[in-house]
Amino acid sequence: MPEARWPALLCGIPLAVAAMTPQAAATPQPTPEPPGGVSQPVFTAEPVRETVWVETGLDGDGDGVVDRVAADIARPAGTDARVPVIMDASPYYSCCGRGNESERKTYDEQGRPVGFPLFYDNYFIPRGYATVLVDLAGTNRSQGCVDVGGPSDVTSARAVVDWLNGRAKGFDSADGGRPVEAPWTTGDVGMIGKSYDGTIANGVAATGVEGLRTIVPIGAISSWYDYYRSDGVSFGFDPVGLARTVEEGGRPDCDAAKQDLVDGAPANGDMTPLWSERNHVPDAGNVRASVFAVHGQGDLNVKMVQFGQWWDALARGGVERRVWLSQTGHVDPFDFRREEWVRTLHRWFDHYLLGMDDGVEKEAAASVERAPDVWSDEPVWGGEQARPTTLHPRPGSTGGLGELGPEPGQGSASFTDDPGLGEYDWAARPDQPSPARALFTTGPLQRDTRIAGTGSVTVAATPGTDTAHLSAMLVDYGPATTRDYLGQGEGIRDTATESCWGESRPGDDACYTDTEATRSDVDFEIIARGWADLANHESLSEERPLRPGTPYEMTFRLATTDHVVPAGHRLALIIGGTDKEFIVAPPRPGEIGLDISGTSVTLPVVGGASPHITATTPAAPPVVRPDRAPQQPDVQLNRP
């Protein structure tokens, strides 16, 4: 471990065991520092480690007994000071692991928790926090059944918040046992977690539960429909598969719960009550906690639309919030911006859980990675200042290759759905027509243009058969160096060194492999994507059979983005049929015609349209060098 790293991270706060400040009294208190300071590592004794089983009020497995979920606790010892809680509720503690090193929980021979994944216990317990890791119902040592984002999942975690605040029952065993209370805590809770874990934090916050002071959702879902479906199309996987994974093969007494997932998630992509129940966005008005959201713009697992719609809903409710947007894929900030992340998270929890006046709430509300390891801070996220800007396609001199600009066009275009092709096939040859897509390109932009927020595409489409799926993407054509978020590490790779973050204990190591950015030189970037089933043009809840030769109009979303298109680059809209990288083909793919006068793309442009995006000027189309085209994704979807 390079010692030179510590001063920059800790501002002089020692971490290694040998350098820890000795415990000054039998009952040390977290000592507030002057404004701008941080909590100090004064709790050096071996932490208290215990498991409490908390009643959820549900009987998911139908055995006639109220389910209990396991909350594994590590908290400061040798003190009567009450402490706040950092909580991570997860289904992955035994099946899949957490973090870049896939850490799992471990226990001693008596079943007491020993190994806590991630660094939260090592770093924060000495500073006056407890760490509580909750097994969601149906996973690891918890009773009940997994319902993938439904009431069982959310209640699993909320019940523990209630127990920490004296409103729920806890016991010292899974069955029977003695009641256990939590007099050691203030009841103030901060929930944190990546992916499924962060999704649970969103869901618990949306209940408005008292005692939850802040959440830190990382690459988290706000609507489970948008994880498995998109405006009527399916991504080809379903929640029952994830339920079996986190149950480690499936629990026989949970067959009914799994059948509910099968019945409630039809393959046709319709919105159903199951999906509505797992949509936290409409309940964002209930959120009382502050929110520190983190998301990767290259995340093709939990896509950026999950962040965008959640952020917009929180903004409408006036929730205190902050965001980091990286160029990575589905990656934790501990693995792409480690020192700054620990420093910032430390101060965030100090402020919202310990009540310290460290000024963190007055700092930049947004930090966006513009190039690998190059970050831009701003007082308000630019997506809140963007204005809708509508661009229209126009026919070009070559069939299938058109223009894109602010003035509406006339004419038509067409393509034939080829389910064997995808977005990178369509985007890689912008100077060549393709029967599988229509491509419309601006001229070289006159100045840098920032697109920040959630856009949409409107199509006037005429199907040649009675089924039609649509894909749309926004492409920045021009040379750039980006994080290689399509590669195996999704923008990072491990190095040969490690660094330590807190105090290591037997069976619970505080040291982690360091990482570094991976880079890719490209000639284009796909900056936003969207998919839809034309049969859902009237309603997402009910698809309607299409009549071949009949025109239909439909508007569907593009994923949220925050991207600066440099001056001299071109912006393109590509419309195709089945994108093999993401969506399932319709039963009868065929030719699809576009009425150009009824087709457009609406983008959130910071500063508005004029003079950022102007009419296309005649010029040669962008040319992509084969050695600089992005590789097709090497990422595994539907994973932690």
Q: Rounded to the nearest 5°, which phi and psi values hold at 474?
A: -105, 130
List strand residue ranges (DSSP E) for 558-607, in order.
Answer: 561-565, 570-576, 591-595, 600-606
* Catalytic residue chosen out of the listed positions 280, 295, 330, 537: 330
- Whole-angstrom distance, CA of residue 405 vs CA of residue 413: 16
Minimal CA–CA distance to 168: which of 250, 273, 259, 54? 54
What is the Cα–Cα distance from 117 to 192, expressed in whole angstroms? 13
Minimal CA–CA distance to 350: which of 190, 217, 226, 459?
Answer: 190
Considering only CA atoms, which of 453, 433, 612, 428 is closest in space to residue 525?
428
97/304 Cα distance (integer angstroms): 24
Q: Is 89 within 8 Å of 197 (Cβ atoms)?
A: yes
Distance in angstroms (rounded) separating the CA atoms of residues 295 and 298: 9
Lookup: tokens for 126: 């000495």
Tell me how far the alpha carbon of residue 494 is from its chain's centroid: 22
Is the previous residue joined to 611 through a cis bond, with omega within 30 degrees of 0?
yes
Q: ∠527-283-390 over CA atoms, to 5°?
A: 35
Cα-to-chain-centroid distance, residue 22? 40
- State how far the Cα of 356 lies from the Cα of 364, in Å rounded to an integer: 18
Beta partners for residue 387, in sequence order: 605
Q: Is 349 helix (H, G, I), strand (E, B) or coil?
A: helix
Q: Is 16 exposed, middle or buried (0-12, 13-18, 19+ CB in 10 A)?
A: middle
Selecting among 299, 335, 417, 476, the annotated active-site residue is: 299
Q: Which of 6, 195, 17 is nearest to 122 (CA)?
A: 17
Which residue, chain included where needed, has tokens 């040859």? 429
Sign (positive or negative) of CA dihedral 72, 74, 79, 82: negative
Please pick, among 39, 90, 195, 499, the residue that the annotation labels catalytic. Answer: 195
CB 7 within 8 Å of CB 94: no
| Count of C-beta atoms within a 10 Å radius of residue 595 | 16
Residue with tokens 């208290």: 48
Going from the C-alpha of 218 to that of each of 93, 175, 628, 638, the distances in angstroms are 17, 34, 30, 16
Contact of 188 with 87, CB cutoff 8 Å: no
- 299: annotated active-site residue: yes
d(CA 233, CA 471): 10
Q: In whole angstroms, what is the distance from residue 391 CA to residue 408 CA? A: 8
Q: Tokens 């894909």 label which residue? A: 471
Using CA atoms, how far apart are residues 362 and 36, in angstroms rounded to an integer? 11
Place of tokens 């749309």: 472
Q: What is the DSSP string of 392-404?
A: EEEEEEETTEEEE
Tell which residue, 99, 76, 77, 101, has the closest CA to residue 88. Answer: 99
Contact 114, 108 (CB under 8 A): yes
330 noted as active-site residue: yes
The tokens describing 595, both together, are: 């009425």
Catalytic (active site) residue 152: no
Point out the residues that are catalytic.
Answer: 195, 299, 330
